[in-house]
Amino acid sequence: MSEMNFSAFLPEFEATYDVAQKTAVWSDQSAQFREFWANRVMGADSELISDDDCDKVIKILDRNGKGNNKDTEAIAKAMVSQGAWRRLFNELHKNRKLGAVVNKVLTEQDPKLKAQYIDELYGMDEAQKIYLTGKSGNTISVFLAAFDPFNNLSVISLKDRRLLLECLESPYIGEFDAQTIGDKITQSNDILAQAIKANGVIGDARKISEYCYYAPVKELWRGEFSAPQEVSGSNTANEITVTISTDKDEVEDIAADGEVRESIRIQGLLAKIGEAMGFDIWLPNPDRVRVSKVWQPKDPSKLLTKLPLSYDNRTLSTIGLIDVIWLKNKRSIARAFEVEDTTSIYSGILRMADLVALQPDVKIKMHIVAPIERQEKFFTEIRRPVFSYMTNARLSDMCTFISYDDVRLIADLKHLNSMSDKVIEDYEVNPDQSGD
């Protein structure tokens, strides 16, 4: 990528970027994060950190956080649900050893030692369980950027950093691929910032990060398909061809007779949660015996044997194959869940798309439920053109991702029987709010 191409949009970007205002905002928000970190997360008390206290900081960390809108400032879109953030902060507060390592990552000034502490964190099993570690480095990089937004990039994803380094033809790419996660996070932060500045974009880490995600610049280095918000014409979807993914990791794994796959356990948990909230439950006929090994309704009438819906047979056949459905008063669908594990993420999305195609005016909240490591695959698949050029809306506006871990968190919540299904919104991740 030539210098002229990468910096070509700088004049129009700078015309809207108020350096003084941005500096004031991020000085304040970084101070809020540091105060929360020092006094609440690292505090000596044993009390739970309240959801309200967590949410104030999540708004700073995650653009997808509750209360954020187009006019508020947040580090990035971190692909972590609201509920998972809350659990993470409380676990760091409770687990002193884990919290201490993260604190060293944030406060250490020597890049080599900082990288070592990150690698130490990645070696801790308890860190992985709370979304603190992952191959993208999102969570740690979000923390670093909030702790010091002027020296740590808000380009939090290592995948995005690599794409930018490729775009800028950095010779560091070869070394990057062979590094530990700690070295990748620390060194790519400095080397990428230098490469961007060498291409004419001058400013602190926050400014150059925002320039990278400025829409026309983002198209240069990421080059991903971006569906328009509005689609004119009724035949657009019919003109698009989709090739179904056949990745090796997406071949269905048939469990031995009697073995309960994790996907079946999650189906059972979703049914249990829905029943506790007062919904009637639908499960596909082929799954009922397997799910019964992990969940049986307290009130047998809650598990429907027939879908009492006024749709045509073709629609009912499609709906009947959805893994878990919650219904209100046996008459209307509240939420639909497709549980994916070793099967194709694409197949679950396609079933939801079939439903919307058959009933364009359907108003159903739909969710793909899968292991957290398959979240990025979900985002890639649901952004395919065929799902973005639908008649009434993009499928990504109607269908969200929920991880297995978050389903377990929901199932463990106290007083489920007095909760609304809106609690799901604390744990879902919207595909159009993922990435930066």
Q: Average pLDDT for residues 290-305, to the nearest whole number?
A: 93
- Residue 421 above 90 pLDDT? yes
Q: Tell me how far apart the alpha carbons of residues 197 and 179 are, in angstroms, rounded to a whole number.
A: 23
| pLDDT tens digit sequence for 74-83 | 999 888 899 9
Specify the amino acid at residue 122.
Answer: Y
Note the pLDDT of residue 343.
58
What is the distance between the terminal CA atoms of the chain, rounded to a whole angstrom? 21
User: What residues have CB less than 8 Å from 270, skipping those under 6 apart?
Assistant: 323, 324, 337, 339, 369, 407
DSSP-assigned letters across all residues of 74-122: -SB-----HHHHHHHHHHHHH-HHHHHHHHHHHH---HHHHHHHHHHHH
Q: Is 335 helix (H, G, I), strand (E, B) or coil?
A: strand
Query: According to the per-residue pLDDT averaged within each range, which of 193-207, 235-249, 322-336 is highest?
Result: 193-207
Q: Pick 388 or 325 by higher pLDDT.
A: 325
Q: Which of 347, 117, 107 is nearest to 246 (CA)?
A: 347
| Amino acid, single-letter form, for residue 221 | W
- What's residue 235's pLDDT? 38
- pLDDT (0 to 100) of residue 192: 98
Lowest mean pLDDT of 42-46, 243-247, 288-292, name the range: 243-247
Closest among 225, 241, 244 to 345, alpha carbons compared: 244
- The per-residue pLDDT for range 378-419, each reduced to its tens digit, is 888 888 887 876 666 788 888 999 999 999 999 999 889 899
Alpha-carbon 185 to chain mean position: 20
Give the model's pLDDT for residue 373: 81
When comparing pLDDT for 189 and 134, which is higher?
189
How many Cβ atoms sit within 10 Å of the Cβ of residue 102?
23
When mean pLDDT is compared over 147-156, 333-342, 404-413, 427-436, the highest value belongs to 147-156
The answer to whether residue 134 scores a pLDDT higher than 70 is: yes
